[in-house]
A and B are shown apart, each in its own frame.
Chain A
Amino acid sequence: MRKIHDFHGGIHPVENKHQSLHTPIRDAGIPAELTLPLSQHIGAPATPLVAVGERVLKGQLVAEATGLVSAALHAPTSGTVTAIEPRPIAHPSGLPAPCLVIASDGEDAWCELPPPCSFETLERPELLARIRAAGIAGMGGAGFPAAVKLGLKPGTQVETLIINGTECEPYITADDILMRERAAQIVRGAQILAHLVAPAETVIGIEDNKPEAIAAMCAAAEGTGIEIAVFPTKYPSGGEKQLIELLTGKQVPSGGLPMDVGVVCQNVGTAAAVADAVEHGRPLISRITTVTGAAVDEPQNFEVLLGTPMSHLLALAGYRAADNPRLVMGGPMMGFTVPDPGVPIVKTTNCILAPSAQELPAPPPAQACIRCGLCAEACPASLLPQQLYWFARGREFEKAEAHNLFDCIECGACSYVCPSNIPLVQYYRAAKAEVLQMRRDAQKAEHSRQRFEARQERLEREEAEKEARRAARKQAAEEKARRAADAGSGEADPVQAAIERAQARKAAQAAGAASEENPLQKLEKTVVTTRERLEKAEAKLAQARSEGADHIAALETGVEKTRAKLAAAEQALQDYQAQQTPAEPAPAGDAAQAAIQKAMAARAAQANKSPLEKARDNLEKLEARLAKSEARLAESRAAGEEEKIVEALASSVERLQEKVAAARAELAAEES
């Protein structure tokens, strides 16, 4: 018998487990529509592989894992994909998330599965690939992809493999009934896991309030070398960190993983799913879910297809919506309220709790904290919850962090015992989120700062380059002038002069080639020369026609070509002008500063004005903008610009007109 250690704190809430244990696991059947959220696990959402309208078979891969920390999704039954869109999911926010919707056809036709095999014959990578392909994510509630947890770095030695059958939360019996009815499957799963991670020992941990499950598991584990460890019931002994301390006496370092102390921990449900996946090639498409609470007539456990709406299960259990003020996914300690009974069952839905108002009354108003310290006694992480509460409430998040806020596992023991009914866990959740938000903001600010500085640098560099070019041009011109003066005064060598002239022209061209103004000149020149060429060609053509020469056709095509070239050149010139005109008022580099200065001046001016003046100014400004826009519109209409531009301008004029009208109304209101 192994030594059972103890962990600090913990509570003993009323268990309420017997209600849902009267009947064996019941099959929940196939609902008409299944909604599969793409993110049912911790990590990146899965990527859909099927299109809307496609027919899928039961067990077919419909969405693959994205990246390493992710899990695949499979069709829970055969049918047609009807939508891939955001739908409400089981999340306290009530926000929608991308889901894959399958209308079932009732045939429940399986796709072709990999042949059944025995795990001993499989190599480690192959085993892991099977688990990964089956899309198994931790079934205990957190939903961490199992294959990621099991994919150990080479060379790591696992001391203990823990299979978690604790199920310490009140009401939930999904693991309990699974252990009672499918002990052999769990043990096979545990053997597969053990084969995979090669631990020194494998332990299945169960609380002592499940005697039947313990008996079944002991019988199934007989002769396998797997140990069944039974320990006293205390919430939250099923928490991964607490369970590790209970069974090994070791504590997972803060911010670390169980692997850091040589432990791998998996839920019994996960073990069963692994057995299914490896031995029968069946992916994870269903799970055991407890439906319980006083608002259902027949609390019981269901084997339910993933994606089944909660309302379907609730109806099977005899749900009385009128008696149910809140619907909880998970247990009463760590579960969260769902906004709507229509949300789907996911891989982590171990329980649907539909309590009556008497059973779990609405939280009364919080009273003052009297620092009674009951929370500190109950805290399984040995934190000082009331200190964290003061810090969170006072928004002193740094201090909260220094008091190890992030070691809080949000088990709810502190809130449970608090005599003043303070929603402590909510404070911690909010504080954690704020801290994370602050970190993200700081990161973003740093990123923006770098971009801003890079831009400033670029602008400066461009300015400097421009300056350098200007200087070079000036120098070249001076040089030329000097040369010209020299040439005029002295004995000129015509050849030398010609060479120099050519050089100077070249230098000027080189300097100009990069300059801002030159492309314009170049384009203009192209237009002029092309036009000249065209004229010449036309003259030639006319001459040839009058002479009746035989190369008229060739000349004609030449003229056509030149004409096309001219058109292209003109177009290019026009484009260039269009692009350049807007930028003219300020050089590119200073636009931001100019805008800032303008905005600054406007703000400074506005600050000293009465609302009336402000309104009047606003109107004036808008009118000016309107006039400008109208002018621009007229201009572009006259110029026959593209229809799209004209339209855009017209719509902006309309919008400005609306704004002007609004400003007028405001001004009128101010005046009256």
Chain B
Amino acid sequence: MALMRVTSPHAHGPLSTSAVMQQVLLATVPGVLVLTAFFGFGTLVNIAFAALLAVSFEALALKLRGRPPGFYLGDCSALVTAVLLGIALPPYSPWWLIAVGIAAAILMAKHLYGGLGYNPFNPAMVGYVVLLISFPVQMTSWAPPRGAGEVPGLLEALRACFTPGSFDAITMATPLDVLKQNDALLVRDLWAQSPQFGRWAGLGWEWANLAFLAGGLWLLYRRIFTWHAPVAMLAVIALMAALFYDGGSSASGGSPLFHLLSGATMFGAFFIVTDPVTSAVSVRGRLVYGALVGLLVYLIRVFGNYPDAVAFAVLIMNFAAPFIDQYTQPRTYGHAGTGDGK
């Protein structure tokens, strides 16, 4: 038997790309469970259908591009995109909405750019924004949480998805939306009047955010990503909220805790901003990247036209990531200055 001729190193660490993706999938479980507990089976149906479509579209795209689908599907990245988009979409979305979103994410944002690793924009967020701009009505209607309205069962969830015409959707403004539309009441009064609010933030939302936080902390513990981007993003959101929280007047932007536990804050911080492909790479770069995402999220939430803004903020910062990388090169061993601007 001829001896192998390979370059060093001969040892390899335990981590693989598919393992990373599987860990991320696993870490979404608590968040998905909480969402299901509060808003019913809509999210689960979203995720299941999106996953099915994503894998099919991925296989199709790989086939068209002449790549071996088996090898590439093995990295589970399409599944991750599907799960993230499924979580981001409103529960009880019709099938065509999911299909359009997944097509935009997998075909347009990912494979048109050359597949995993080559996409400049986060595929799930591209899918989300395409839908948000194209179908604003469907995208901004969110089901009421348990405790504030009726929650449909599994069969109804399936009906909502596959025969949208036969499903009479009950929707309710999200807490972020309520706060945005408010121009007369003190925050305290608003809290008392609207059934959407819970102890610190939106009813259900606060627990979903905490669940995503738990999942994110577990990923941090497993060293799937570093703390820099999420912490920077959360810190800036909290800082901005603290700066603009005037004690709860009608013009207030909401308390820091409210912002941290509302909308897609935690989900975005630990599952979207940490997407390695589209974010900045160096440690300093990730701090800058996360901080700017946080800033944009707050600015759009409070001063922009949309109630939540993680998707927009992330996409805008995706543009800037190479630029950030360019100016945050670490100082190489034995070199005097930083590698900036080279």
- Chain A residues in contact with chain B, CB under 8 A? 7-8, 11, 13-14, 92, 94, 170, 241, 245, 251-256, 321-322, 324-328, 330, 332-341, 353, 355, 360-363, 365, 367-374, 376-377, 380-384, 386-387, 402-404, 407, 410, 412-413, 415-421, 423, 425-426, 429
Shortest Cβ distance from A376 into chain B, in angstroms? 6
Q: Quick check: A416 and B333 within 8 Å, CB to CB?
A: no
Contact B7 A256 (CB under 8 A): no
- A354: nearest residue on chain B (CB-CB)? B3
Taken together as a complex, chains A and B put the C-alpha atoms of A333 and B8 apart, in Å, by: 6
Contacts of B17 in A (CB 8 A): 367-368, 370, 419-420
Q: Are B333 and A372 in contact (CB under 8 A)?
A: no
B306-342 residues at the A interface, CB under 8 angstroms? 325, 329-336, 339, 342
- Residues of A contacting B226 in the complex (Cβ-Cβ under 8 angstroms): 373, 377
Q: How far is the CB of B69 from chain A (nearest CB, A)?
A: 14
In the complex, the answer to whether B6 meets A404 with C-beta atoms within 8 Å is no
Nearest A residue (CB) for B12: A416
Contact flag A417-B335 (CB < 8 Å), given A336-B8, A367-B75, A372-B20: no
CB neighbours (8 Å) of B276 from chain A are 370-373
B5 touches A94 (CB 8 A): yes
Contacts A380-B333, A383-B332, A412-B9; A419 near B19 (Cβ below 8 A): yes
Structural contact, A363 and B116, CB atoms closer than 8 A: no
Bound-state Cα–Cα, A328 to B9, Å: 10
Closest 4 CB pairs of A and B: A412-B9, A368-B117, A326-B4, A254-B334
A407/B11 contact (C-beta < 8 A), A325-B4, A373-B282 known: no
Binding site for A on B (CB under 8 A): 1, 3-13, 15-17, 19-20, 71, 75, 77, 115-118, 225-226, 276-277, 279, 281-283, 286, 325, 329-336, 339, 342
Quick one: closest A residue to B329, CB to CB? A384
Contact of B71 among A335, A362, A365, A369 (CB under 8 A): A365
Extra pairs beyond A330-B8, A373-B276, A377-B283 (5, CB < 8 Å):
A241-B334, A253-B336, A368-B116, A420-B16, A420-B117
Interface centre among B1, B4, B115, B277 (most CB of A within 10 A): B4
Alpha-carbon distance A380/B331, docked complex (angstroms): 11
- Given A11-B13, A417-B13; A426-B7 close (CB under 8 Å): yes
Query: B9 touching A340 by the CB < 8 A rule?
Result: no
Nearest chain A CB to B301's CB is how many angstroms away? 28
How long is the Cα–Cα vector from A94 to B5 in the complex, in angstroms? 9
Nearest Cβ distance between residue A248 and chain B, in whole angstroms? 13
Partner of B332, one of A367, A371, A404, A420: A404
Q: Bound state CA distance, A337 and B276, in angstroms?
A: 33
Q: Does the CB pair A376–B4 fall under 8 Å?
A: no
Select which of A14, A92, A334, A335 is within 8 A of B5 by beta carbon.
A92
Within the complex, the shortest CB–CB distance from A539 to chain B, in Å, comes to 86
Instruction: Tell me whether A382 and B332 are in contact in the complex, defined as CB-CB below 8 angstroms, given that A13-B13, A376-B281, A419-B20 are known contacts.
Output: yes
B8 close to A334 (CB less than 8 A): yes
Question: Is B11 within 8 A of A416, CB to CB?
Answer: yes
- Report chain B residues within 8 Å CB of A410: 8
Does B11 contact A340, Cβ atoms closer than 8 Å?
no
Contact, CB under 8 Å: B10 / A419: no
Q: Which residues of B contact A11 (CB under 8 A)?
A: 13
Contacts of A334 in B (CB 8 A): 8-9
CA A426 – CA B9 in complex, angstroms? 9
Point out the residue from B6, B13, B277, B339 that lies within 8 Å of A363, measured CB to CB. B6
Chain B residues near A336: list those with CB within 8 A: 7-8
7 contacts between A and B (CB under 8 A): A92-B5, A251-B333, A363-B6, A383-B330, A415-B8, A420-B17, A423-B7
Which residues from A are CB-within-8-Å of B283? Answer: 376-377
Q: How far is the CB of A253 from chain B (nearest CB, A)?
A: 5
* Also in contact, A241 and B4, with CB within 8 A (given A367-B17, A384-B281): no
- The interface centre, meaning the residue of A327, A335, A381, A419 with most chain B CB atoms within 10 A of its CB, is A419
A380, B277: Cα distance in complex, Å: 23
Contacting residues, chain B, for A94 (C-beta < 8 A): 5
Query: Does A374 lie within 8 Å of B5, measured CB to CB?
Result: no
Residues of chain B lying within 8 A (CB to CB) of residue A381: 332-334
- A332 and B3 contact, Cβ closer than 8 Å, known pairs A380-B333, A403-B339, A419-B20: no
Known contacts A367-B17, A368-B118, A371-B281; is-contact A252 B334 (Cβ 8 Å):
yes
Which has the most chain B C-beta neighbours within 10 Å: A252, A322, A340, A376? A376
Q: Is the CB of A326 within 8 A of B6?
A: yes
Measured between beta carbons, the chain B residues less than 8 angstroms from A403 are 329, 339, 342
Quote the shortest CB–CB distance from A372 to chain B (angstroms). Answer: 4
- CB <8 Å contact, B3 and A327: yes
Write the nearest CB–CB distance from B196 to chain A, whole angstroms.
38
Asked if residues B11 and A13 are in contact (CB atoms below 8 Å), the reply is yes
Q: Which residues of B contact A245 (CB under 8 A)?
A: 333
Q: In the docked arrangement, what's the CA distance between A588 and B269, Å?
A: 79
| A376 to B331 Cα, complex, angstroms | 12
| Neighbouring B residues of A251 by C-beta, 8 Å | 333-334
Chain B, residue nearest A367 (CB): B17
Choice from A365, A382, A426 contacting B331 with Cβ under 8 Å: A382
Please name all residues of chain A whose beta carbon is closer than 8 Å to the beta carbon of B339 when the two chains form the complex.
403-404
A241, B333: Cβ atoms under 8 Å?
yes
Which residue of B4, B11, B276, B281 has the most chain A CB atoms within 10 A of its CB atom? Answer: B11
Q: Establish whether residues A332 and B1, one from each chain, have CB atoms under 8 Å apart when the complex forms.
A: no
The complex places the Cα of A426 from the Cα of B6 at a distance, in Å, of 9
Query: A339 touches which one: B5, B10, B20, B336 (CB < 8 A)?
Result: B5
Q: Is the CB of B10 within 8 A of A328?
A: yes
Q: List B contacts of A92 (CB < 8 A).
A: 5, 7
Q: How far is the CA of A292 from the CA of B118 in the complex (A)?
A: 41
Q: Which residue of A lies closest to B74 (CB)?
A: A367
Docked-complex contact A360 and B7, CB < 8 angstroms? no
Contacts of B118 in A (CB 8 A): 368
B298 to chain A: closest CB distance in Å?
26
Contact call A407/B6, Cβ cutoff below 8 A: no
- Are the C-beta atoms of B335 and A407 separated by less than 8 Å? yes
- Measured in the bound complex, the distance between the Cα atoms of B11 and A92 in whole Å is 17
Contact, CB under 8 Å: A416 / B281: no
Nearest-CB residue, chain A, relative to B68 = A365
What is the chain B residue whose CB lies nearest that of A417? B13
Are B1 and A376 interface neighbours, CB within 8 A? no
List, in ascending order, chain A residues with CB within 8 A of B117's CB: 368-371, 420
Given the complex, which residues of A lie within 8 Å of B336, measured CB to CB?
A: 253
A153 to chain B, nearest CB (A): 21
